[in-house]
């Protein structure tokens, strides 16, 4: 299969607001001084909006996943969109990093050739005996088939309690995640159908056990971090805002 070479594939789940998506694309263009592809996984409504907008003709490095995938907030369908984009990227691109952005992320630091390869790896993990099960969402996440597999195989859970906004995997980790879930269809479908936000732990935990690490260039908030940009870490790159 012929693959296109690029440095970064940005993955974005999109369900509303074409104007903000255009703003987000322009923001990436202004702040990422590297070769990149923007891979959009849209719901059925936004799929039609994007197809009819002329956006894909104007920006050849913006790619729409070839099927509308409806998603539910705080549900495994969000992970489904991320995974399908990752699978598509592995099949079609020779990339260095796969970066997960939410549809509310914008950049506050510039990503360029001198800093993109120095982002620190996140290697924290915990076995089921080490896990603080009463904290965070673990009491829910432990009900997934992925968690059952992790426990049965003495694997580790990701331990950074990490939001998915800005989540980043290198090419090796991405291919290992895709390969694992292709070989474990029952686990994959359970993740996709699970009634909670498994994007906060699932792909990270798989990566921790197969490649030993992942990365994150983002920050998390329920609100708008624009007013807090001056307080955000200098070694991170994207913040979360409202779609205006």
Mean pLDDT of 9-21: 95
Instruction: Find which of 5-19, 152-166, 219-233 is predicted with most confidence, using mean pLDDT.
Output: 5-19
Global pTM?
0.96
At 116, list the tokens. Answer: 């993109």
Distance, CA of 13 to CA of 105 (rounded, Å) = 11
DSSP labels for 168-197? EEEHHHHHHHHHHHHH-HHHHHHHHH-SS-
Q: Which pLDDT score, from 0 to 100, does residue 162 have?
A: 63
State residue 78's pLDDT score: 97
Domain that holds residue 200: 4-240
Per-residue confidence (pLDDT) for residue 244, from 0 to 100: 77
- Count of domains observed in the chain: 1
Q: What is the DSSP letter of 160?
A: S
Tokens of 219: 């920050």
d(CA 233, CA 220): 12
Over the stretch 63-108, which tens digit does the pLDDT of each residue have?
999 999 999 999 999 999 999 999 999 999 999 999 999 999 999 9
pLDDT for position 1: 57
What pLDDT is attached to residue 227? 83
Nearest to 165 by CA among 64, 63, 238: 238
Tens digits of per-residue pLDDT, 166-216? Answer: 999 999 999 999 999 999 999 999 999 999 999 999 999 999 999 999 999
Whether the pLDDT of residue 164 is over 90: the answer is no
Given this model, what pLDDT does residue 3 score?
82
Q: What is the CATH number of the domain that holds 57?
A: 3.90.550
């Amino acid at each position: 299969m012929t693959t296109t070479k690029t440095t970064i594939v940005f993955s974005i789940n999109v369900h509303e607001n074409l104007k903000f998506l255009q703003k987000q694309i322009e923001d990436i263009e202004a702040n990422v001084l590297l070769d990149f592809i923007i891979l959009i996984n849209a719901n059925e409504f936004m799929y039609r909006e994007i197809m009819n907008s002329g956006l894909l003709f104007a920006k050849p490095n913006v790619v729409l996943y070839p099927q509308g995938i409806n998603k539910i907030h705080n549900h495994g369908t969000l992970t489904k969109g991320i995974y399908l984009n990752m699978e598509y990227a592995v099949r079609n691109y020779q990339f260095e990093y796969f970066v997960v952005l939410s549809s509310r992320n914008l950049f506050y630091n510039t990503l360029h050739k001198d800093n993109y390869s120095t982002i620190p790896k996140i290697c924290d993990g915990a076995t089921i005996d080490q896990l603080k099960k009463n904290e965070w969402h673990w009491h829910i996440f432990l009900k997934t088939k992925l968690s059952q597999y992790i426990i049965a195989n003495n694997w580790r859970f990701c331990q950074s309690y990490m939001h998915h906004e800005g989540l980043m995997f290198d090419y090796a980790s991405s291919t290992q995640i895709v390969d694992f879930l292709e070989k474990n269809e029952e686990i994959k479908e359970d993740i996709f159908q699970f009634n909670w936000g498994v994007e906060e732990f699932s792909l990270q935990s798989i990566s921790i056990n197969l490649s030993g690490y992942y990365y994150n260039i983002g920050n998390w908030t329920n609100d708008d971090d624009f007013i807090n940009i001056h307080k955000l870490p200098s070694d991170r790159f994207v913040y979360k805002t409202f779609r205006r």
